[in-house]
Amino acid sequence: MAIVRQTMVYDGPGGPFEGVFAYDDEVETARPGVMVVPNVLGQKESDSVTAENIAKLGYVGFVADVFGQGRRKTFTSENPAEYMNELNADRGLLRDRLKASLEMLKGFQLVDPARTAVYGYCFGGKCALDVARAGFDVLGVVSFHGVYDKPDYASVTPIKARILVCHGWEDPIAPPEVMVALGKELSEGQADWQIHAYGTAGHAFTDIDRKGVPPVRPGVAYEERADRRSWKAASDFLAELFG
144-176 confidence digits (pLDDT tens)? 999 999 999 999 999 999 999 999 999 999 999
pLDDT of residue 34: 99
Q: Under 8 Å CB-to-CB from 37, ≥6 apart: which residues?
A: 64, 66, 98, 101, 118, 119, 120, 121, 123, 124, 125, 127, 128
pLDDT of residue 210: 80
Q: Residue 217: pLDDT above 90?
A: no
pTM of the shown model = 0.96
Cα–Cα distance between 223 and 87 in angstroms, integer? 28
What is the DSSP track for 186-221? HHHTT--EEEEEETT--BTTT-GGGTTSPPSSTTB-
Cα–Cα distance between 58 and 110 in angstroms, integer? 12
Q: Residue 126: pLDDT above 90?
A: yes
The alpha-helical segments, DSSP class H, found in 57-175 are 82-88, 91-107, 123-134
Q: Residue 104: pLDDT above 80?
A: yes
The alpha-helical segments, DSSP class H, found in 8-57 are 45-56
Q: Express as a percent the part of the chain with pLDDT over 70.
A: 99
110 or 212, higher pLDDT: 110
CA separation (Å) from 29 to 8, 24, 32, 34, 36?
A: 20, 11, 10, 16, 21
